[in-house]
Chains A and B, each alone.
Chain A
């Protein structure tokens, strides 16, 4: 059974860097069939895709966040991570990590982690 679990700081000050880690169990993050993604949800914006990292460690980000987001993979720990730089209160959200299943002509998110709330405030 594949499971994902987010770990985050809870509270981040404006202008600082938000760092999140997702620990994956039940499948290797090196698997060729899957990508790994972050999705966030705020009360004002609903679900917003942040980005993904694929099996060759290439990344793709939401254009609205591309200048501030960095994703990476740690295969030794079977984890992947997100860093979001220069955060503002608008980045306050529940952050979910999710596996991206890639069928070749379609991709979908399954499963998702439980989510971790990150609040940006001084």
Chain B
């Protein structure tokens, strides 16, 4: 069971908007930035968002991120069939562990 909690699945129709939540604690999300990763079938995981809300070059502005306290949210607007896949949040632990943490992943289905 992951320390960062994500909903197992979300779904929406093409063109619609969807949000994916990520919940953690004070020693991880509460004191660190969040990143989001997209994992489409048959491809390498890809960075979507870093430092809570920044998009790497090439990532469409349909993808957005936010963080408040110990929770973070990924938003995807204008859903496309090609967005279907798994999405993971990630952060770091500021405790003795000091390592990277990932959420359990959310499977996005475009209906």
Contacts and interface: CB of A to CB of B under 8 A. Distances in A.
B99 A96 contact: no
A35 B101 CA distance: 16
Task: Summarize A's interface: helix, strand, loop or mixed.
Answer: strand
B51 A111 contact: no
Chain A: number of interface residues, binned into ranges: 20 to 34
Contacts of A51: 99
A96 B102 contact: no
B102 A49 contact: yes
Given A107-B92, A108-B35, A37 B51 contact: no
B105 interface: yes
B44 A109 contact: no
Contact of A109 (B35, B51, B99): B35
A57 interface: no
Contacts of B43: 114
A74 interface: no
A114 B51 CA distance: 24
Contacts of B103: 46
B47 A108 contact: yes
A10 to B, nearest CB: 18
Contact of B88 (A47, A60, A62, A103): A47
Contacts of B24: none
Contacts of B46: 111-112
Contacts of A109: 35, 37, 45, 47, 90, 100
A37 B44 contact: no
Given A108-B35, A109-B90, A48 B45 contact: no
B44 A108 contact: no
Q: Which of A47, A49, A98, A110 has the most CB of B within 10 A?
A: A47
B50 to A, nearest CB: 4
B14 to A, nearest CB: 27
A25 B77 CA distance: 34
Interface of A: 37, 39, 46-49, 51-52, 60-63, 96, 98, 101, 103, 105-115
Given A49-B101, A108-B51, A112-B46, 6 more contacts: A46-B2, A49-B102, A106-B33, A108-B47, A108-B50, A114-B44
